Amino acid sequence: MRKLLVIISAALALAACGKAPEALHPEWTYDSVVYEVNIRQFTPEGTFKAFEGQLPRLKELGVDVLWLMPMYKIGVEGRKGTLGSYYAIADYKKVNPEFGTMEDFEHLVAEAHRLGFKVILDWVANQTAPDNVWMYEKPAEFYERDENGNAIWEYDWTDTRSLNYECREVWAAQDDAMRFWLGKGVDGFRCDAAGDVPAEFWKGILPGIKADYPDIYLLAEAERDNIADPRETFDANYAWELHHLLNGLAQGGKSVQDLKDYVARDAARFKEQFRLMFTSNHDENSWAGTEFEREGAAANACAVLCFTLPAGQPLIYTGQEIGLSRRLAFFEKDSITDWSPNGQTAFWKALVDLKHNNPALAAGERGGEIVWWEAPEGWVAFHREVKGNKVIVLASFGSAEPQEAPAVQAEANDNRPQGEVNAAPFRNLQAEPVTMTIKLDGKYTNVFTGEKLEGDRLITLAPGDYLVLSK
């Protein structure tokens, strides 16, 4: 009898924390959509206050998690461009005055919470600015140094200096700084270049942070097995391999079989982590090109897969919801000035609503397994189901012969540049539409049009077309 009481007490304790006993992640994360916020470019003002005025619009879009790109004070020494990089931190405990004051930041977080958003910060643990306060306040061994004692940097990041993680004082300083912001009510972190930092560091500090803040969400910009346990480190990591595979699928260098092989391999590799899936983010947009440059007319079909493939937690980057198809400058001011809704807005909202409303698409262990369909060449076709909730996905990527990318033309209110976008070769999107018959086991709704379908249906898709049905 005593053993039974202990089990019941444990279950009640878990329920009191807001988690079902089987939950590996915070309850609020399983059907959530992440939105990456580029404060600098979001408005002409580029401030916390100005962005706060956009919260009702994002609430209407339906996104759940606001990932703020680094908003800390950044360095001046070696600064790139006029404004510098968000990722060259001068002080982890101060806000960038370009964006406003600490009071402005706190007000933004409070208002976001009032509207039901979660707020996560971009954490930059790998390096700091050359003129970070630690360079002067901490021992020399805080930084990696060359034989002459000069602090060094990685890659072409000349505006940074690499922290030395063999020094345990660095661990303590990072732990302290992360807790500073958790104390201000933020809901977690997206950890930049997490795979470039020793796994032992994350395993050393994150369990303690998670114990003190059990409802936080931790996202790694990495694709590493050794930091893939949500019990001790990260809830989610980047699906970088999928991102590049989707680019290749759109362009003709990858096949539908490559996608199937990836899904099976990824499920075996990351059994419990969420996988952040995206067609764009700040790195891709600024340096590799927009989704329209990289994926052409198949960009929306690729986005559909990011919302519907197993384990996925989808990401929307600043401007995608209005079809913004220009690269945003990284070190200079480059504002988005017109947020008028258009067809792309409706497209993304339909996907967000689907993610929220159909349990088959839950991230991680709660989502439905993927069942592939036999389909015409170049089609991705599958369904996922949980307890009678089912989603059917069909998307055509056309034939494999590469062609020149189609021009991306501007529309009146979507911020697109006039003229053509310089893009890589794409699959032959001039191929003829292909038809197949599907047999529906009940009544389904087309998530983009609201049309009701049942029985045997003849489905015709041209390359770049897609169909998503939900019941």
279 and 164 both lie in a single domain: yes
β-sheet bridge partners, residue 399: 428
What is the widest separation between alpha-carbon atoms in the chain? 75
With the C-alpha atoms ordered 307, 309, 313, 318, is the resulting torsion angle positive or negative? negative
Whether 168 is covered by a domain: the verdict is yes
pLDDT surpassing 80 at residue 403: no
139 and 101 both lie in a single domain: yes
435 and 304 both lie in a single domain: no
408 and 352 both lie in a single domain: no
316 and 411 both lie in a single domain: no
Residue from 122, 139, 101, 249 nearest 190 by CA: 122
Where residue 411 sits, what CATH number does that domain have?
A: 2.60.40
How far lies 402's CA from each of 399, 425, 429, 465, in Å? 8, 6, 9, 17
Whether 174 is covered by a domain: the verdict is yes
357 and 400 both lie in a single domain: no
pLDDT surpassing 60 at residue 455: yes
410 and 360 both lie in a single domain: no
Question: What would the mean pLDDT of 125-139 be, rounded to a whole number?
Answer: 97
Residue from 9, 40, 92 nearest 334 by CA: 40
pLDDT tens figures, 75-112:
999 999 999 999 999 999 999 999 999 999 999 999 99
344 and 417 both lie in a single domain: no
Whether 67 is covered by a domain: the verdict is yes
Where residue 279 sits, what CATH number does that domain have?
A: 3.20.20.80
Q: What is the CA radius of gyration of the chain?
A: 23
- Rounded to two decimals, the pTM is 0.91
Whether 296 is covered by a domain: the verdict is yes
DSSP codes of every residue in 161-228: EEB-TTSHHHHHHHHHHHHHHHTTT--EEEEETGGGS-HHHHHHHHHHHHHHSTT-EEEESS--GGG-
pLDDT of residue 14: 40
What value, to the nearest 5°, has the Cα angle with vertex 361 and ends 355 and 367? 145
8 A C-beta contact, residue 270 and residue 363: no
413 and 364 both lie in a single domain: no
332 and 191 both lie in a single domain: yes
Confidence band (pLDDT; 50, 70, 90) for 398?
confident
333 and 407 both lie in a single domain: no
263 and 178 both lie in a single domain: yes
Whether 326 is covered by a domain: the verdict is yes
Whether 81 is covered by a domain: the verdict is yes
Confidence band (pLDDT; 50, 70, 90) for 439?
very high
Measured CA to CA, the distance from residue 273 to residue 13 in angstroms comes to 24
Whether 121 is covered by a domain: the verdict is yes
pLDDT tens figures, 145-170:
999 999 999 999 999 999 999 999 99
Whether 19 is covered by a domain: the verdict is no
8 A C-beta contact, residue 164 and residue 140: no
Number of domains in the chain: 2
Boundaries of domain holding 439: 393-470
pLDDT tens figures, 26-53:
999 999 999 999 999 999 999 999 999 9
Confidence band (pLDDT; 50, 70, 90) for 23?
confident
